[in-house]
């Protein structure tokens, strides 16, 4: 067997976007139990936009995330619970409460050029005894040299791992390889990769990341996640088994939780639709998908036009209000022409 790989499942966090943040406690318990029994080492539970994300801007959660974290922790006998924290959304109290609920890892997420806003959050994670990770989102939006610079900042703050995060599903395999290789040569901590499938490249990109030196890789069951979803966890297990990597995850049990639990409550299949394809093509944040669909209906414009304009504007997470501004402007242009 080749070197060990660590699979981190994000169904119960990234999948929150597709579920409109409406996971029930029973759904979380069933998924957590299945992931644990399959041998998944870490899985993430929180609002799609991280701790404290439940809001009018990002979407209100139907169930308090701390209750969901606690429920997941009760079901996990071996697996450890991860949470996502975005500086400016989640605060110290959120992370402290997550630890009380059972979290063992925190991934502190910033835009790929803004690691400097996360120093206190990384240090807090370490102080609380969590495995603490720097999560560089929208990795396609900065040159490799900038990515390396930001990763070094995270490392200097105490991050034990750095993630290259393809939030828009915009990277191509050679671009992933280039970024992971550059980090491998520049930092001494573990490297992870988080992909989205908007260009149907999530699995290929994950393979490229592993070949270049990443040892932590994200996936979601049945691809349940923002946009067209993430790299599919059960597929990753099968593929890396074929490639003789050791993941510690059993194929049949992980398939069972995907097909007999998650598939039953998914609101729709995670397909590459016209909108999610344009997200990958234009480099737009995957969690913008449902907001864009809503804005397109509200203003009577083509959602693809909204996404292309957002891509041109280099919109990033946290600018969800901009989606409606763009849709309104497109509608005004349309009516002025008529």
For the annotated binding site for Mn(2+), the residues are 14, 194, 196
Bridge partners, residue 55, by sequence: 59
In angstroms, the first-to-last Cα distance of the chain is: 65
Q: Which of 6, 17, 47, 140 is catalytic?
A: 17
**Three-state secondary structure call for residue 257:** helix
Q: Let me know if 174 is a catalytic residue.
A: no
CB-based burial of residue 315 (10 Å sphere; 0-12 exposed, 13-18 middle, 19+ buried)?
buried
Bridge partners, residue 7, by sequence: 217
What beta strand segments (E) does 57-199 contain? Answer: 80-85, 103-111, 131-137, 161-165, 190-194
Residue with tokens 């490229």: 208
DSSP annotation of 126: H
Paired tokens of 150? 């930001």
**Three-state secondary structure call for residue 256:** helix
Bridge partners, residue 108, by sequence: 85, 134
State the Cα–Cα distance between residues 263 and 211, nearest whole angstrom. Answer: 30
Q: Name the strand (E) or helix (H) holding 9.
A: strand 6-9
CA contacts within 13 A on the Cβ side of 246: 5
State the Cα–Cα distance between residues 307 and 296, nearest whole angstrom. Answer: 10
Answer whether 246's CB lies under 8 Å from 1's CB.
Answer: yes
Q: Which residues participate in the annotated binding site?
A: 13-14, 167, 194, 196, 285
Bridge partners, residue 103, by sequence: 81
Active-site positions read 17
């Amino acid at each position: 067997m080749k070197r060990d790989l660590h699979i981190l499942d994000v169904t119960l966090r990234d999948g929150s976007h597709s579920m409109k943040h409406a996971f029930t406690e029973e759904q979380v318990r069933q998924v957590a139990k299945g992931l644990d029994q399959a041998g998944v080492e870490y899985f993430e539970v929180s609002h799609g936009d991280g701790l404290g994300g439940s809001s009018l801007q990002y979407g209100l959660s139907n169930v308090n995330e701390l209750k969901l974290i606690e429920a997941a922790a009760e079901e996990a006998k071996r697996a450890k619970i991860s949470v996502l924290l975005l500086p400016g959304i989640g605060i110290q109290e959120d992370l402290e409460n997550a630890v009380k609920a059972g979290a063992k890892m925190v991934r502190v997420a910033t835009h790929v050029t803004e690691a400097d806003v996360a120093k206190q959050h990384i240090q807090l994670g370490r102080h609380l005894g969590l495995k603490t990770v720097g999560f560089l989102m929208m990795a396609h939006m900065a040159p490799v040299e900038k990515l390396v610079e930001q990763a070094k900042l995270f490392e200097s703050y105490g991050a034990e791992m750095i993630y290259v995060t393809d939030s828009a599903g915009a990277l191509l395999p050679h671009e992933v390889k280039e970024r992971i290789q550059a980090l491998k040569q520049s930092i001494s901590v573990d490297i992870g990769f988080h992909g989205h499938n908007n260009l149907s490249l999530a699995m290929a990109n994950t393979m490229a990341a592993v070949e270049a030196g990443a040892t932590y890789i994200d996936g979601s069951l049945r691809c349940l996640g923002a946009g067209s979803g993430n790299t599919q966890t059960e597929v990753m297990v099968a593929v890396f088994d074929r490639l003789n990597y050791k993941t510690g995850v059993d194929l049949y049990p992980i398939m069972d939780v995907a097909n007999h639990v998650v598939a039953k409550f998914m609101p729709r299949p995670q397909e590459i639709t016209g909108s999610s394809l344009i997200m990958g093509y234009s480099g737009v944040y995957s969690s913008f998908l449902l907001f864009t669909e809503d804005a397109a209906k509200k203003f009577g414009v083509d959602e693809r036009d909204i996404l292309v304009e957002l891509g041109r504007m280099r919109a990033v997470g946290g600018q969800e209000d901009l989606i409606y501004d763009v849709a309104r402007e497109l509608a005004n242009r349309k009516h002025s022409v008529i």
